[in-house]
Structure 1
Amino acid sequence: MGRLTGVAVALAAGLLLTATPAQASDDPLTLAVSLDGQDISGHTMVITPRSPVELSVTVTNNSGSAVHVRSIRLSGTALALTFFAYDTTLPFDVAAHGRSVRTFGLDLADLDGQAIGLLPAAVQLFDVDRNELAAVDTTTDVRGSILSVYGVFGIAVLLLTIAAWTACLLALARHRLPANRLRRALRFMPAGFGTGLVAVVTLSVLRVIPPEPGVEIPIIVGTTAIGLVLGYITPHPMPAVAEPESAGLLTTTEVTG
Protein backbone atom coordinates (compact mmCIF):
# COMPACT_ATOMS: atom_id res chain seq x y z
CA MET A 1 0.00 0.00 0.00
CA GLY A 2 2.85 2.34 0.86
CA ARG A 3 4.52 1.64 -2.45
CA LEU A 4 1.32 2.42 -4.36
CA THR A 5 0.98 5.70 -2.49
CA GLY A 6 4.58 6.65 -3.34
CA VAL A 7 4.02 5.82 -7.02
CA ALA A 8 0.84 7.91 -7.07
CA VAL A 9 2.65 10.89 -5.54
CA ALA A 10 5.49 10.56 -8.05
CA LEU A 11 3.03 10.43 -10.97
CA ALA A 12 1.17 13.48 -9.67
CA ALA A 13 4.43 15.41 -9.32
CA GLY A 14 5.43 14.42 -12.84
CA LEU A 15 2.11 15.61 -14.23
CA LEU A 16 2.49 18.96 -12.47
CA LEU A 17 6.01 19.43 -13.81
CA THR A 18 5.00 18.60 -17.35
CA ALA A 19 1.94 20.84 -17.15
CA THR A 20 3.93 23.92 -16.17
CA PRO A 21 5.66 24.49 -19.55
CA ALA A 22 2.37 23.98 -21.36
CA GLN A 23 0.79 26.78 -19.32
CA ALA A 24 3.78 29.04 -19.99
CA SER A 25 3.31 28.65 -23.76
CA ASP A 26 -0.37 29.67 -23.69
CA ASP A 27 0.53 33.30 -24.47
CA PRO A 28 -0.96 34.19 -27.86
CA LEU A 29 2.15 36.14 -28.86
CA THR A 30 5.75 35.76 -27.68
CA LEU A 31 8.54 38.20 -28.43
CA ALA A 32 12.32 37.84 -28.51
CA VAL A 33 14.47 40.94 -29.06
CA SER A 34 18.16 41.36 -29.80
CA LEU A 35 20.18 44.55 -29.96
CA ASP A 36 23.24 44.39 -32.19
CA GLY A 37 22.94 40.61 -32.13
CA GLN A 38 22.66 40.26 -28.32
CA ASP A 39 19.49 39.10 -26.61
CA ILE A 40 18.24 41.94 -24.41
CA SER A 41 16.28 39.79 -21.96
CA GLY A 42 18.16 39.51 -18.66
CA HIS A 43 21.10 41.60 -19.89
CA THR A 44 22.25 45.19 -19.46
CA MET A 45 22.45 46.76 -22.90
CA VAL A 46 25.09 49.45 -23.39
CA ILE A 47 23.81 52.22 -25.67
CA THR A 48 26.12 54.86 -27.08
CA PRO A 49 23.78 57.54 -28.47
CA ARG A 50 25.97 58.53 -31.41
CA SER A 51 26.33 54.94 -32.61
CA PRO A 52 23.35 53.53 -34.58
CA VAL A 53 22.06 50.18 -33.31
CA GLU A 54 20.40 47.27 -35.04
CA LEU A 55 17.21 46.02 -33.42
CA SER A 56 15.87 42.60 -34.33
CA VAL A 57 12.49 41.25 -33.18
CA THR A 58 11.28 37.66 -33.49
CA VAL A 59 7.53 37.32 -33.05
CA THR A 60 5.93 33.91 -32.54
CA ASN A 61 2.17 33.58 -32.91
CA ASN A 62 0.80 30.76 -30.76
CA SER A 63 -2.84 31.49 -31.54
CA GLY A 64 -5.07 30.17 -34.30
CA SER A 65 -5.50 33.52 -36.06
CA ALA A 66 -3.14 35.93 -37.77
CA VAL A 67 -1.89 38.97 -35.84
CA HIS A 68 -1.11 42.36 -37.37
CA VAL A 69 1.71 44.40 -35.83
CA ARG A 70 1.76 48.10 -36.65
CA SER A 71 4.60 49.65 -34.65
CA ILE A 72 7.50 48.92 -32.31
CA ARG A 73 8.60 51.09 -29.38
CA LEU A 74 11.86 51.26 -27.43
CA SER A 75 11.38 53.25 -24.22
CA GLY A 76 13.19 53.91 -20.95
CA THR A 77 11.56 54.87 -17.65
CA ALA A 78 12.54 55.89 -14.14
CA LEU A 79 10.47 56.99 -11.15
CA ALA A 80 7.31 56.27 -13.18
CA LEU A 81 8.44 58.82 -15.80
CA THR A 82 9.37 58.07 -19.41
CA PHE A 83 12.71 59.69 -20.23
CA PHE A 84 13.06 58.41 -23.79
CA ALA A 85 10.85 56.67 -26.32
CA TYR A 86 11.46 55.73 -29.96
CA ASP A 87 8.53 54.56 -32.07
CA THR A 88 9.02 52.89 -35.43
CA THR A 89 6.11 52.18 -37.75
CA LEU A 90 6.83 48.78 -39.22
CA PRO A 91 3.59 47.02 -40.26
CA PHE A 92 3.77 43.26 -40.70
CA ASP A 93 1.59 40.19 -40.17
CA VAL A 94 2.34 37.06 -38.19
CA ALA A 95 0.46 34.03 -39.49
CA ALA A 96 -1.38 31.67 -37.16
CA HIS A 97 1.11 29.35 -35.46
CA GLY A 98 3.81 31.13 -37.45
CA ARG A 99 6.91 33.20 -36.81
CA SER A 100 8.14 36.47 -38.22
CA VAL A 101 11.52 38.19 -37.89
CA ARG A 102 12.08 41.89 -38.52
CA THR A 103 15.40 43.74 -38.32
CA PHE A 104 15.88 47.48 -38.62
CA GLY A 105 18.31 50.22 -37.63
CA LEU A 106 17.73 52.82 -34.92
CA ASP A 107 19.37 56.24 -34.83
CA LEU A 108 19.63 57.11 -31.13
CA ALA A 109 21.66 60.32 -31.47
CA ASP A 110 19.01 62.33 -29.59
CA LEU A 111 19.38 60.01 -26.61
CA ASP A 112 22.53 61.92 -25.59
CA GLY A 113 20.33 64.78 -24.41
CA GLN A 114 17.63 62.59 -22.85
CA ALA A 115 19.20 60.08 -20.47
CA ILE A 116 22.34 58.88 -18.71
CA GLY A 117 23.17 55.85 -16.59
CA LEU A 118 21.17 52.71 -15.89
CA LEU A 119 17.51 52.86 -16.85
CA PRO A 120 14.84 50.16 -17.05
CA ALA A 121 13.71 49.85 -20.68
CA ALA A 122 11.24 47.85 -22.74
CA VAL A 123 10.59 46.92 -26.35
CA GLN A 124 6.86 46.80 -27.08
CA LEU A 125 4.73 45.76 -30.04
CA PHE A 126 1.48 47.61 -30.78
CA ASP A 127 -1.47 46.98 -33.08
CA VAL A 128 -3.35 49.60 -35.11
CA ASP A 129 -5.35 50.67 -32.03
CA ARG A 130 -2.17 51.20 -29.96
CA ASN A 131 -2.90 48.15 -27.84
CA GLU A 132 0.18 46.36 -26.55
CA LEU A 133 0.61 42.93 -28.13
CA ALA A 134 3.85 41.82 -26.46
CA ALA A 135 6.81 43.30 -24.61
CA VAL A 136 10.30 42.43 -23.40
CA ASP A 137 11.91 44.23 -20.44
CA THR A 138 15.61 44.97 -20.12
CA THR A 139 18.08 47.40 -18.54
CA THR A 140 19.94 49.97 -20.62
CA ASP A 141 23.26 51.61 -19.79
CA VAL A 142 22.95 54.91 -21.63
CA ARG A 143 26.25 56.71 -22.17
CA GLY A 144 24.58 60.11 -22.43
CA SER A 145 25.34 63.57 -21.05
CA ILE A 146 25.01 64.67 -17.43
CA LEU A 147 23.12 67.66 -18.89
CA SER A 148 20.49 65.36 -20.38
CA VAL A 149 16.88 65.53 -19.24
CA TYR A 150 17.48 62.79 -16.68
CA GLY A 151 20.72 64.36 -15.47
CA VAL A 152 19.18 67.83 -15.11
CA PHE A 153 16.21 66.27 -13.31
CA GLY A 154 18.61 64.76 -10.78
CA ILE A 155 20.46 68.06 -10.32
CA ALA A 156 17.17 69.94 -9.79
CA VAL A 157 16.00 67.41 -7.20
CA LEU A 158 19.37 67.70 -5.41
CA LEU A 159 19.11 71.50 -5.20
CA LEU A 160 15.52 71.36 -3.94
CA THR A 161 16.47 68.76 -1.34
CA ILE A 162 19.38 70.90 -0.10
CA ALA A 163 17.00 73.87 0.17
CA ALA A 164 14.47 71.75 2.12
CA TRP A 165 17.08 70.52 4.61
CA THR A 166 18.50 74.06 4.99
CA ALA A 167 15.06 75.48 5.78
CA CYS A 168 14.38 72.75 8.36
CA LEU A 169 17.73 73.09 10.10
CA LEU A 170 17.54 76.90 10.20
CA ALA A 171 14.06 76.69 11.71
CA LEU A 172 15.41 74.22 14.27
CA ALA A 173 18.37 76.47 15.16
CA ARG A 174 16.12 79.52 15.53
CA HIS A 175 13.50 77.61 17.56
CA ARG A 176 10.84 78.33 14.94
CA LEU A 177 9.58 74.81 14.40
CA PRO A 178 5.91 74.09 15.27
CA ALA A 179 5.23 73.13 18.87
CA ASN A 180 3.20 70.11 17.77
CA ARG A 181 5.39 67.03 17.16
CA LEU A 182 3.31 65.80 14.24
CA ARG A 183 3.60 69.14 12.47
CA ARG A 184 7.36 69.10 13.05
CA ALA A 185 7.52 65.63 11.50
CA LEU A 186 5.56 66.80 8.45
CA ARG A 187 7.93 69.76 8.15
CA PHE A 188 10.86 67.35 7.68
CA MET A 189 9.01 64.95 5.38
CA PRO A 190 9.77 66.75 2.02
CA ALA A 191 13.49 66.78 2.87
CA GLY A 192 13.44 63.03 3.52
CA PHE A 193 11.46 62.37 0.35
CA GLY A 194 13.89 64.44 -1.72
CA THR A 195 16.83 62.59 -0.20
CA GLY A 196 15.36 59.32 -1.46
CA LEU A 197 14.92 60.72 -4.97
CA VAL A 198 18.50 61.98 -4.99
CA ALA A 199 19.78 58.57 -3.85
CA VAL A 200 17.82 56.73 -6.56
CA VAL A 201 18.99 59.04 -9.36
CA THR A 202 22.59 59.07 -8.11
CA LEU A 203 22.78 55.26 -7.98
CA SER A 204 21.38 55.16 -11.50
CA VAL A 205 23.75 57.77 -12.95
CA LEU A 206 26.75 56.11 -11.28
CA ARG A 207 25.60 52.80 -12.83
CA VAL A 208 25.21 51.01 -9.51
CA ILE A 209 21.51 50.05 -9.47
CA PRO A 210 18.78 50.83 -12.04
CA PRO A 211 15.77 52.71 -10.65
CA GLU A 212 13.35 49.80 -10.76
CA PRO A 213 10.22 49.82 -8.54
CA GLY A 214 11.69 47.13 -6.28
CA VAL A 215 14.64 49.43 -5.57
CA GLU A 216 13.31 52.98 -5.74
CA ILE A 217 10.18 52.45 -3.64
CA PRO A 218 11.98 51.05 -0.53
CA ILE A 219 14.67 53.75 -0.75
CA ILE A 220 12.19 56.63 -1.06
CA VAL A 221 9.83 55.24 1.58
CA GLY A 222 12.78 54.63 3.92
CA THR A 223 14.27 58.13 3.62
CA THR A 224 10.82 59.72 3.93
CA ALA A 225 10.24 57.76 7.14
CA ILE A 226 13.65 58.88 8.45
CA GLY A 227 12.71 62.49 7.73
CA LEU A 228 9.43 62.08 9.63
CA VAL A 229 11.20 60.49 12.62
CA LEU A 230 13.88 63.20 12.73
CA GLY A 231 11.22 65.89 12.68
CA TYR A 232 9.21 64.12 15.38
CA ILE A 233 12.13 63.79 17.81
CA THR A 234 13.46 67.34 17.38
CA PRO A 235 13.49 69.27 20.67
CA HIS A 236 10.42 71.26 21.63
CA PRO A 237 10.95 74.90 20.58
CA MET A 238 11.71 77.19 23.52
CA PRO A 239 8.93 79.71 24.20
CA ALA A 240 9.77 83.38 23.83
CA VAL A 241 10.66 85.01 27.15
CA ALA A 242 8.37 87.97 27.84
CA GLU A 243 9.85 91.10 29.37
CA PRO A 244 8.54 91.82 32.89
CA GLU A 245 6.09 94.69 33.12
CA SER A 246 7.92 96.10 36.15
CA ALA A 247 10.94 96.85 33.98
CA GLY A 248 8.82 99.02 31.71
CA LEU A 249 7.25 100.82 34.63
CA LEU A 250 10.64 101.48 36.21
CA THR A 251 11.96 102.96 32.99
CA THR A 252 8.93 105.24 32.66
CA THR A 253 9.27 106.46 36.23
CA GLU A 254 12.93 107.27 35.80
CA VAL A 255 12.25 109.30 32.67
CA THR A 256 9.43 111.22 34.28
CA GLY A 257 11.53 112.11 37.28
Structure 2
Amino acid sequence: MGRVIAAGVALGLCVVLLGAPPASAQSGSAPAGSLGVQASIDRRPIADATVPIDPTQQVELQVMATNTGTAPVKVRSVRLSGVALALTFFAYDTTAPFEVPARGTVTRTFVLDLGDLAGQATGLLPSSVELLDAQRATLGEATTVADVRGSIWSVYGVFGLAMLVLTILAWLASLLALARHRLAPNRWRRGLRFLPAGFGTGLVAVISLSVLRLVPPEPAIEIPVVLGAAAIAFLLGYLTPHPAPPAAPTAGDGATVRLPVPSTQEFTR
Protein backbone atom coordinates (compact mmCIF):
# COMPACT_ATOMS: atom_id res chain seq x y z
CA MET A 1 0.00 0.00 0.00
CA GLY A 2 2.79 2.40 0.93
CA ARG A 3 4.54 1.79 -2.38
CA VAL A 4 1.34 2.53 -4.29
CA ILE A 5 0.88 5.84 -2.46
CA ALA A 6 4.52 6.81 -2.98
CA ALA A 7 4.19 5.96 -6.66
CA GLY A 8 1.10 8.19 -6.91
CA VAL A 9 2.91 11.16 -5.37
CA ALA A 10 5.95 10.53 -7.55
CA LEU A 11 3.71 10.35 -10.61
CA GLY A 12 2.19 13.72 -9.78
CA LEU A 13 5.67 15.20 -9.39
CA CYS A 14 6.82 13.71 -12.70
CA VAL A 15 3.77 15.14 -14.46
CA VAL A 16 4.67 18.56 -13.09
CA LEU A 17 8.36 18.35 -13.96
CA LEU A 18 7.90 16.75 -17.36
CA GLY A 19 4.94 18.95 -18.28
CA ALA A 20 7.12 22.00 -18.81
CA PRO A 21 6.56 23.37 -22.31
CA PRO A 22 9.49 23.08 -24.69
CA ALA A 23 11.65 26.08 -25.35
CA SER A 24 10.04 28.34 -27.93
CA ALA A 25 10.43 31.76 -29.39
CA GLN A 26 9.78 33.43 -26.06
CA SER A 27 12.80 31.79 -24.39
CA GLY A 28 15.51 33.43 -26.44
CA SER A 29 15.02 32.06 -29.98
CA ALA A 30 12.49 34.60 -31.22
CA PRO A 31 11.98 34.69 -34.99
CA ALA A 32 13.11 37.61 -37.09
CA GLY A 33 10.75 40.53 -36.76
CA SER A 34 9.54 39.67 -33.24
CA LEU A 35 7.10 42.08 -31.66
CA GLY A 36 6.87 44.03 -28.48
CA VAL A 37 3.49 43.46 -26.85
CA GLN A 38 1.45 45.52 -24.42
CA ALA A 39 -1.96 44.23 -23.35
CA SER A 40 -4.88 45.21 -21.18
CA ILE A 41 -7.85 43.20 -19.92
CA ASP A 42 -11.06 45.11 -19.38
CA ARG A 43 -9.02 48.29 -19.91
CA ARG A 44 -6.60 47.39 -17.12
CA PRO A 45 -2.93 47.12 -18.17
CA ILE A 46 -1.65 43.67 -17.26
CA ALA A 47 2.03 44.55 -16.86
CA ASP A 48 3.20 44.21 -13.23
CA ALA A 49 -0.38 43.70 -12.06
CA THR A 50 -2.80 41.04 -10.87
CA VAL A 51 -5.76 41.00 -13.23
CA PRO A 52 -9.11 39.59 -11.98
CA ILE A 53 -10.93 37.37 -14.46
CA ASP A 54 -14.58 36.43 -13.86
CA PRO A 55 -15.61 33.49 -16.06
CA THR A 56 -19.23 34.60 -15.91
CA GLN A 57 -18.39 37.84 -17.73
CA GLN A 58 -17.00 38.45 -21.19
CA VAL A 59 -13.43 39.77 -21.22
CA GLU A 60 -12.26 42.63 -23.41
CA LEU A 61 -8.66 42.00 -24.43
CA GLN A 62 -6.76 44.85 -26.05
CA VAL A 63 -3.35 44.16 -27.61
CA MET A 64 -0.83 46.71 -28.87
CA ALA A 65 1.93 45.21 -31.03
CA THR A 66 5.07 47.18 -31.85
CA ASN A 67 7.40 46.14 -34.65
CA THR A 68 10.93 47.55 -34.32
CA GLY A 69 12.27 45.58 -37.28
CA THR A 70 12.69 46.54 -40.91
CA ALA A 71 10.15 44.05 -42.33
CA PRO A 72 6.41 43.70 -41.69
CA VAL A 73 5.26 40.90 -39.38
CA LYS A 74 2.09 38.91 -39.93
CA VAL A 75 0.12 37.83 -36.84
CA ARG A 76 -2.35 34.99 -37.23
CA SER A 77 -3.81 34.53 -33.74
CA VAL A 78 -3.79 35.74 -30.14
CA ARG A 79 -3.54 33.37 -27.19
CA LEU A 80 -4.48 33.94 -23.54
CA SER A 81 -3.13 31.17 -21.31
CA GLY A 82 -2.46 30.35 -17.67
CA VAL A 83 0.27 28.07 -16.33
CA ALA A 84 0.93 26.58 -12.89
CA LEU A 85 3.53 23.99 -11.87
CA ALA A 86 4.74 23.88 -15.50
CA LEU A 87 1.27 22.74 -16.62
CA THR A 88 -1.08 24.77 -18.82
CA PHE A 89 -4.48 24.86 -17.11
CA PHE A 90 -6.25 27.10 -19.61
CA ALA A 91 -5.55 28.47 -23.08
CA TYR A 92 -7.81 30.47 -25.40
CA ASP A 93 -6.79 31.13 -29.01
CA THR A 94 -8.49 33.78 -31.13
CA THR A 95 -7.78 33.74 -34.86
CA ALA A 96 -7.57 37.34 -36.02
CA PRO A 97 -4.96 37.85 -38.75
CA PHE A 98 -3.36 41.28 -39.00
CA GLU A 99 -0.05 42.73 -40.09
CA VAL A 100 2.27 45.00 -38.14
CA PRO A 101 4.27 47.23 -40.53
CA ALA A 102 7.99 47.81 -40.14
CA ARG A 103 8.70 50.27 -37.33
CA GLY A 104 4.97 50.56 -36.74
CA THR A 105 2.39 49.85 -34.06
CA VAL A 106 -1.00 48.19 -34.39
CA THR A 107 -3.72 47.96 -31.74
CA ARG A 108 -6.43 45.33 -31.81
CA THR A 109 -9.34 44.67 -29.43
CA PHE A 110 -10.97 41.25 -28.90
CA VAL A 111 -13.94 40.09 -26.84
CA LEU A 112 -13.37 36.68 -25.26
CA ASP A 113 -16.02 34.35 -23.87
CA LEU A 114 -14.37 32.51 -20.95
CA GLY A 115 -17.47 30.76 -19.68
CA ASP A 116 -15.82 27.35 -19.29
CA LEU A 117 -12.83 28.79 -17.40
CA ALA A 118 -14.63 28.20 -14.10
CA GLY A 119 -14.16 24.46 -14.63
CA GLN A 120 -10.49 24.77 -15.55
CA ALA A 121 -8.78 26.91 -12.92
CA THR A 122 -9.17 29.01 -9.81
CA GLY A 123 -6.92 31.30 -7.80
CA LEU A 124 -3.73 33.08 -8.84
CA LEU A 125 -2.06 31.75 -11.98
CA PRO A 126 0.86 33.16 -13.99
CA SER A 127 -0.64 34.06 -17.37
CA SER A 128 0.42 35.48 -20.70
CA VAL A 129 -0.96 37.09 -23.85
CA GLU A 130 0.91 35.82 -26.91
CA LEU A 131 0.89 36.78 -30.57
CA LEU A 132 1.36 33.73 -32.83
CA ASP A 133 2.27 33.36 -36.48
CA ALA A 134 0.92 30.82 -38.97
CA GLN A 135 3.31 28.14 -37.63
CA ARG A 136 2.12 28.72 -34.04
CA ALA A 137 5.48 30.26 -33.10
CA THR A 138 5.42 33.09 -30.57
CA LEU A 139 6.11 36.50 -32.07
CA GLY A 140 5.84 38.34 -28.77
CA GLU A 141 4.12 38.14 -25.39
CA ALA A 142 3.07 40.08 -22.32
CA THR A 143 2.97 38.34 -18.94
CA THR A 144 0.85 38.91 -15.87
CA VAL A 145 -0.84 37.14 -12.95
CA ALA A 146 -4.51 36.28 -13.43
CA ASP A 147 -6.87 36.07 -10.46
CA VAL A 148 -9.30 33.50 -11.83
CA ARG A 149 -12.64 33.45 -9.98
CA GLY A 150 -13.28 29.80 -10.83
CA SER A 151 -14.53 26.79 -8.87
CA ILE A 152 -12.64 24.69 -6.33
CA TRP A 153 -13.90 21.72 -8.37
CA SER A 154 -12.07 22.94 -11.45
CA VAL A 155 -9.27 20.89 -12.99
CA TYR A 156 -6.70 22.88 -11.00
CA GLY A 157 -8.65 22.57 -7.75
CA VAL A 158 -9.25 18.82 -8.14
CA PHE A 159 -5.57 18.33 -8.95
CA GLY A 160 -4.70 20.03 -5.67
CA LEU A 161 -7.23 17.94 -3.72
CA ALA A 162 -5.88 14.73 -5.27
CA MET A 163 -2.33 15.67 -4.29
CA LEU A 164 -3.55 16.45 -0.76
CA VAL A 165 -5.12 13.00 -0.37
CA LEU A 166 -2.05 11.23 -1.76
CA THR A 167 0.25 13.25 0.50
CA ILE A 168 -1.77 12.43 3.63
CA LEU A 169 -1.72 8.74 2.73
CA ALA A 170 2.03 8.89 2.07
CA TRP A 171 2.66 10.39 5.50
CA LEU A 172 0.38 7.85 7.18
CA ALA A 173 2.14 4.94 5.43
CA SER A 174 5.59 6.21 6.44
CA LEU A 175 4.64 6.94 10.04
CA LEU A 176 2.84 3.60 10.37
CA ALA A 177 5.94 1.79 9.13
CA LEU A 178 7.95 3.74 11.69
CA ALA A 179 5.58 2.80 14.52
CA ARG A 180 5.68 -0.88 13.53
CA HIS A 181 9.50 -0.87 13.23
CA ARG A 182 9.29 -1.85 9.58
CA LEU A 183 11.59 0.81 8.14
CA ALA A 184 14.85 -0.25 6.52
CA PRO A 185 17.92 -0.47 8.77
CA ASN A 186 19.83 1.77 6.32
CA ARG A 187 19.40 5.48 7.08
CA TRP A 188 19.42 6.52 3.40
CA ARG A 189 16.65 4.08 2.58
CA ARG A 190 14.62 5.38 5.51
CA GLY A 191 15.08 8.93 4.18
CA LEU A 192 13.97 7.87 0.71
CA ARG A 193 10.86 6.29 2.26
CA PHE A 194 9.80 9.74 3.52
CA LEU A 195 10.80 11.59 0.34
CA PRO A 196 7.50 11.21 -1.64
CA ALA A 197 5.55 12.60 1.32
CA GLY A 198 7.85 15.63 1.33
CA PHE A 199 7.41 16.26 -2.38
CA GLY A 200 3.65 15.98 -1.99
CA THR A 201 3.69 18.42 0.92
CA GLY A 202 5.56 20.98 -1.20
CA LEU A 203 3.15 20.62 -4.11
CA VAL A 204 0.12 20.95 -1.84
CA ALA A 205 1.61 24.07 -0.24
CA VAL A 206 2.20 25.71 -3.63
CA ILE A 207 -1.30 24.92 -4.88
CA SER A 208 -2.93 26.01 -1.62
CA LEU A 209 -1.19 29.40 -1.67
CA SER A 210 -2.38 29.84 -5.23
CA VAL A 211 -6.00 28.81 -4.63
CA LEU A 212 -6.19 30.99 -1.51
CA ARG A 213 -4.94 33.92 -3.64
CA LEU A 214 -1.88 34.53 -1.48
CA VAL A 215 1.09 33.71 -3.73
CA PRO A 216 1.09 32.75 -7.43
CA PRO A 217 2.90 29.49 -8.32
CA GLU A 218 5.85 31.05 -10.12
CA PRO A 219 9.08 29.05 -10.58
CA ALA A 220 11.01 31.31 -8.20
CA ILE A 221 8.56 30.27 -5.45
CA GLU A 222 7.37 26.77 -6.30
CA ILE A 223 10.80 25.20 -6.84
CA PRO A 224 12.28 26.24 -3.43
CA VAL A 225 9.06 25.26 -1.63
CA VAL A 226 8.84 21.80 -3.20
CA LEU A 227 12.55 21.02 -2.85
CA GLY A 228 12.64 22.42 0.69
CA ALA A 229 9.72 20.28 1.83
CA ALA A 230 11.29 17.21 0.19
CA ALA A 231 14.63 17.89 1.93
CA ILE A 232 12.93 18.24 5.33
CA ALA A 233 11.01 14.99 4.86
CA PHE A 234 14.17 13.16 3.78
CA LEU A 235 16.01 14.47 6.84
CA LEU A 236 13.20 13.32 9.12
CA GLY A 237 13.38 9.84 7.64
CA TYR A 238 17.17 9.81 7.86
CA LEU A 239 17.09 10.72 11.56
CA THR A 240 14.41 8.22 12.56
CA PRO A 241 15.62 5.67 15.12
CA HIS A 242 16.96 2.32 13.99
CA PRO A 243 14.22 -0.31 13.86
CA ALA A 244 14.21 -2.36 17.08
CA PRO A 245 15.40 -5.99 16.65
CA PRO A 246 12.73 -8.68 17.06
CA ALA A 247 12.23 -9.67 20.68
CA ALA A 248 13.23 -13.22 21.71
CA PRO A 249 10.25 -15.52 22.27
CA THR A 250 9.23 -16.13 25.89
CA ALA A 251 7.01 -18.64 27.57
CA GLY A 252 4.20 -16.13 27.72
CA ASP A 253 4.28 -15.78 23.93
CA GLY A 254 3.37 -19.43 23.41
CA ALA A 255 6.91 -20.72 22.91
CA THR A 256 7.59 -24.38 23.80
CA VAL A 257 9.47 -24.75 27.08
CA ARG A 258 11.53 -27.93 27.44
CA LEU A 259 11.62 -29.33 31.01
CA PRO A 260 14.67 -31.30 32.19
CA VAL A 261 14.17 -35.07 32.18
CA PRO A 262 15.27 -36.78 35.41
CA SER A 263 17.90 -39.48 35.02
CA THR A 264 17.39 -43.16 36.02
CA GLN A 265 19.83 -42.78 38.93
CA GLU A 266 17.50 -40.26 40.58
CA PHE A 267 14.67 -42.84 40.47
CA THR A 268 16.82 -45.63 41.97
CA ARG A 269 17.67 -43.48 44.91
Work out whether 1:190 is the aligned partner of 2:185: no
Q: Distance in 1 between matches of 2:126 and 2:213?
A: 12
Work out whether 1:250 is the aligned partner of 2:258: yes
Decide which structure has greater helix share. 1
Q: Percent identity?
A: 58
Q: Deviations over 1:13-56 (max 9, x none)?
A: xxxxxxxxxxxxxx842111011111101110000101001001
Runs of 5+ consecutive residues of structure 1 not aligned to the other structure = 1-26
1:46 to 44, 47, 52: 52
Q: Distance in 2 between matches of 1:77 and 1:106?
A: 18
Q: Who is 1:55 aligned against?
A: 61
Mean alpha-carbon deviation: is it higher for 222-231 or for 94-103?
94-103
Q: Distance in 2 between matches of 1:144 and 1:52?
A: 14
Q: Distance in 2 between matches of 1:28 and 1:53?
A: 26
Work out whether 1:129 is the aligned partner of 2:140: no
Q: Who is 2:81 aligned against?
A: 75
Query: CA shift at 1:210, angstroms?
Result: 0.2
Q: Distance in 1 between matches of 2:201 and 2:152?
A: 19
Q: 1:244 to 1:138 in 2, by over 3 A?
A: same
Q: Who is 2:230 aligned against?
A: 224
Q: Distance in 2 between matches of 1:251 and 1:58?
A: 98
Letter of the aligned partner of 2:189 in structure 1?
R
Query: CA shift at 1:243, angstroms?
Result: 2.7
Q: Distance in 1 between matches of 2:230 and 2:127?
A: 27
Normalising by structure 1, what TM-score? 0.85
Q: Who is 1:107 aligned against?
A: 113
Runs of 4 or more above 6 Å deviation: none
Letter of the aligned partner of 1:106 in structure 2?
L
Q: Who is 1:168 aligned against?
A: 174
Q: Who is 1:32 aligned against?
A: 38
**Pairwise CA RMSD:** 1.8
Runs of 5+ consecutive residues of structure 2 not aligned to the other structure = 1-32, 262-269
Question: Number of matched residues?
Answer: 227
2:183 to 165, 174, 177: 177
Q: Deviations over 1:41-96 (max 9, x none)?
A: 11100001010010010111111101000011000010000000001111000111
Q: Distance in 1 between matches of 2:137 and 2:227?
A: 33
Relative contact order, higher structure (CA 8 A, sep 6+) = 2
Q: Who is 1:6 aligned against?
A: none
